[in-house]
Structure formats: C-alpha cells, structure tokens
C-alpha cells in the first residue's frame, strides 16, 4: 500500500518505518528540513533501540522515503497518517495546531480518496475538527473529493516501540466509513496473522481509549508510590507488598513498581489533557488530579531522603547521579524525575556529577543552566569524591554494579535508590547505608 506519514518524531518515524518493514511504500513528511536532512543522511533524530537499522534497511530497499514536499507527500498515499506533536497548552489541554494544519494540507492538495488517520494522541472530538478542516480546504478549492477520518491511537512504549508495533497486543480503529475500515484491516493484517487483535469502534471511543489507557497506568504508578511513602512510615517493605498484591490475577504485576515518579512525553501530558477535557465537559474528576499531584510530590522524595540524611543545606556536598532519562532505553528527558532531583540539589548548594548511557546530549541541553552540574562519561567517574550515589533511572548497567568499588570510591558508602534496584539486606551485609523507596522494614531509609 502507498502510505504517507506526516511528522517524523517518535510516533511518526516508528509508524512509517514499521509499515515499510512489511512491504508498504511509505513517504514520511516533515516541515523541519533539518530533521529530514538527518534522516536523508542516514541518521535518526531520536533514540530507539533497533530503529536506525530498520530505517536504513527500508531506505535501501526504496520502501521508505523522507521529504519536506507537502504536495508530493499528500499525492503519494491513500492512507495519510498524522503523527505530529500535541504538546500541552498552558491550561494542560492538548495543542492541536499541528494536527489541524496537517489536515488542512491534505485538503489543499488531495485529488482522490484519502483516509486521514489520527495517530497522534488527541482529545475526544479531534476527528471532527480534522474532518471540518479538510472539508473547508476542499470547499475553498471548490472540488468534491471523498475522504474518511479514522482514529488509530498508538500504544508504543519508548524503548520497546518496534516490538510494540510489530507485535501489538491490540490495534484500535475508530471509524464510521466501511471503506476506510477495510483498508485499515488490510494494512494491519500482516501484524495480527496469528490472532485478530483489531478492535473497531466509533471514533470518539477510540480517541478516549488512548487517554484512558495512559491515565490508568499513571494511576497505578502513583498509587504504589503513595503506598511506598506509607510503607516507609509503617515499617513495611513495598517490594514484598507489590509481590503480594501482584499475585492476584485481578491486579497483576505490571506498573506496580514504586520509584521516583513517572515522566516522559505521554503520562504527564495525557493525564493533564484528560483532566482538561473533563473540565471543558463540565465533569470534575477527582482521581486524576490526585494522580498528577502525587507524582509531582514523588519526584521530591529522593531529595527529601538526601536532606534527611545530610541536612537541608547541601553546600559543599557532592552527589553522583546515575540515570537522567525518564526511563531506560530512551534519551527522552521530558518531565524526567532527574530534572527535579538535580535542580533541587543544586538549589540547596550541592554539586552534582551525572551519568547516563544515552541521554547525555539531551540532558546537557535541557539542564544547561543548572549551577554545579557536571557530566561524566562513565558511572565510576560520577562517584569520585561524592558523598553519596543517587540512582534515578533503572538502566540495566546499574542493576549489578561492583559494590566494593562503590564503597571504595564514595566518600562514605551511601546509596539513595530511586528505583529499588538493590536488596536492602545485601546492602546491609556489604556495609552500605541504603535508602530505597518504601523499604524501611529492611533497614533502608
């Protein structure tokens, strides 16, 4: 099939590349000439495991092309995926300017039947606005061309996006046009050959499903983080509690890990957008504002533990920070807990030596104004002359470190573990002072 993907950010590039991998001819459009230049020169503008190789393979096979030519891109694909950014506005609502402009460009240039597919995360009712924008442009041209608008939200985890796209647990299609549904079924049939995972529903329900999914996952995280705060006070171990409740099949183990809070481009933005949507509809949600507030508080927990141990004034102190991206296997620093931790440590007068295996270039950009912050090329370097080690992101290389080396390198053997990577009993046996999240019953703070 001939497919156009509008936007070469995270969603657009992964979508276009994976569709090309299945034999489709895909053209990816972006208004950012610099980004297209990176792609044309064999690079990619994001970090996602396996994506660079897949892009290179499909470019070599002439199944994947990149362009800034709007007219050519619109004319290419019967299916037009919109995968542009929807950043939060000042009130928390999703900013749809790029989505609507992409829709208008389709209307300005289309000459035959198109299926316009909202792949970006958008509020309920966006498909109606996309449909109206296209119809207005066709009206200005005084041409009558049939088209359909479909909602096809993405459910990609950063760091595992290719696996999620190629082996989806579900594919949600929101459509009221039978021809469009048939085309979408044909497009996705190679991805679901062993079991039909395609769910067809009305457009508004499909749009709502994406927000509901992310809001539910964020709720589980904040719920466990709140329980971890209580576990610290009561002398319980949140890791044992997690196993106890996760073994209930009605609950399960996913997204029950206490930590330093969630971040990234999805959960914070989508929770706020759903709250904003509810407010606009006259519904006062109670749970989701609490989820967001609990998460913002959780990002301060590591600093609270540091100040409880070293005092509120950290002048003259130096801390090693392992992990900067909001989660492993990505360089995404958006809403990352590390940003809050580092900024607060610096505000209190501390020096910070930070390391991340992937996110250093992006971290240098977003944290450029933080006084006392330096970046190092190896995790061992971060610990030199440091008063304590603070683990913020659970990269694999942090899970089994050389604890003897840590003891020998730090000024004093103190670890603040924001992801509960280490067993408190082992740390105690090794002579390391250990502060986890909700693990005080095992001797941690």
Rounded to whole angstroms, how far apart are CA atoms 342 and 324? 9
**Pick from 251, 266, 172: nearest CA to 218:** 266
Q: What is the CA radius of gyration of the chain?
A: 24
Q: How many CB atoms lie within 10 A of CB 433?
A: 17
For 323: left if phi > 0, alpha if psi spans -120 to 50, otherwise beta; the answer is left
Helices (H), ranges, 153-266: 161-166, 178-188, 203-234, 238-246
**Pick from 70, 25, 16: nearest CA to 44:** 16
Are 155 and 169 contacting, i.e. CB atoms less than 8 angstroms apart? yes
Q: Which residue of the set 266, 333, 351, 432 is catalytic? A: 266
Q: How far is CA 221 from CA 92, 290, 422, in A?
A: 20, 12, 19
**Pick from 390, 380, 225: nearest CA to 321:** 390
Half-sphere exposure of 401 (CA within 13 A, CB side): 24
* DSSP string computed for 342-402: HHHHHHTT-EEEEE-SS-HHHHHHHTTT-TTEEE-SSHHHHHTT-SEEEE-S--GGGSS--
Rounded to whole angstroms, how far apart are CA atoms 440 and 445? 5
Could you confirm whether 18 is annotated as catalytic?
no
Q: If 0-12 CB within 10 Å is exposed, 13-18 middle and 19+ buried, where does residue 247 land? A: exposed
Half-sphere exposure of 274 (CA within 13 A, CB side): 26
**Pick from 308, 301, 303, 326: nearest CA to 227:** 301
Are 396 and 266 contacting, i.e. CB atoms less than 8 angstroms apart? no
Give the three-class secondary structure for 410. coil
Q: Which phi and psi angles does 374 have, rounded to 5°?
A: -130, 155
> 276-290 b/e with 16+ CB inside 10 Å = b?
bbeeeeeeebeebee
**Active site amino acids:** 266
């Amino acid at each position: 099939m001939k497919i156009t993907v509008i936007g070469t950010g995270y969603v657009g590039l992964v979508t276009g590349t994976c569709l090309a991998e299945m034999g489709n001819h895909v053209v990816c459009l972006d208004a950012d000439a610099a980004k297209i230049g990176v792609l044309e020169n064999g690079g990619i503008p994001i970090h996602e495991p396996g994506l660079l190789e897949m892009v290179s393979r499909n470019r070599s096979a002439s199944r994947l092309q990149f362009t800034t030519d709007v007219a050519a891109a619109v004319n290419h694909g019967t299916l037009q995926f919109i995968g542009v950014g929807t950043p939060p506005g000042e009130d928390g609502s999703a900013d749809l300017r790029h989505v609507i402009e992409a829709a208008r460009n389709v209307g300005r240039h289309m000459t035959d039947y198109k299926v316009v597919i909202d792949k970006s995360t958008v509020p309920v009712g966006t498909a109606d606005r996309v449909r109206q924008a296209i119809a207005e442009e066709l009206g200005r041209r005084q041409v009558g061309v049939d088209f359909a608008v479909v909602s096809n939200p993405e459910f990609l985890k950063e760091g595992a996006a290719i696996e999620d796209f190629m082996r989806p647990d579900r594919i949600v299609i929101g459509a009221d046009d039978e021809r469009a549904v048939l085309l979408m079924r044909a497009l996705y049939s190679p991805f679901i050959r062993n079991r039909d995972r395609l769910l067809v529903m009305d457009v508004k329900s499909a749009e709502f499903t994406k927000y509901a999914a992310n809001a539910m996952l964020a709720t589980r995280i904040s719920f466990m983080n709140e329980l971890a705060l209580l576990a610290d006070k009561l002398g319980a171990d949140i890791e044992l509690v997690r196993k106890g409740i996760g073994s209930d099949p009605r609950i399960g183990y996913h997204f029950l890990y206490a930590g330093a809070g969630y971040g990234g481009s999805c959960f914070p933005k989508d929770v706020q957008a759903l709250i904003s949507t509810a407010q606009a509809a006259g519904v006062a949600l109670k749970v989701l504002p609490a989820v967001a507030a609990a998460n913002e508080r959780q990002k301060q927990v590591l600093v609270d533990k540091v100040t409880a141990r070293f005092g509120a004034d950290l002048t003259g102190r130096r801390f090693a920070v392992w992990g900067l991206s909001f989660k492993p296997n990505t360089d995404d620093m958006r809403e990352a807990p590390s940003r809050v931790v580092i900024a607060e440590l610096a505000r209190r007068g501390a020096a910070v030596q930070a390391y991340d295996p992937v996110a250093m270039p992006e971290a240098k950009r977003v944290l450029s104004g933080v006084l006392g912050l330096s970046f190092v090329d190896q995790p061992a370097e971060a610990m030199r002359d440091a008063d304590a080690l603070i683990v913020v992101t659970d990269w694999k290389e942090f899970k089994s470190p050389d604890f003897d080396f840590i003891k020998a390198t730090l000024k004093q053997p103190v670890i603040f573990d924001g992801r509960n990577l280490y067993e408190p009993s082992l740390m105690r046996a090794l002579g390391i002072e250990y502060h986890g999240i909700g693990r005080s019953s095992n001797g941690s703070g």
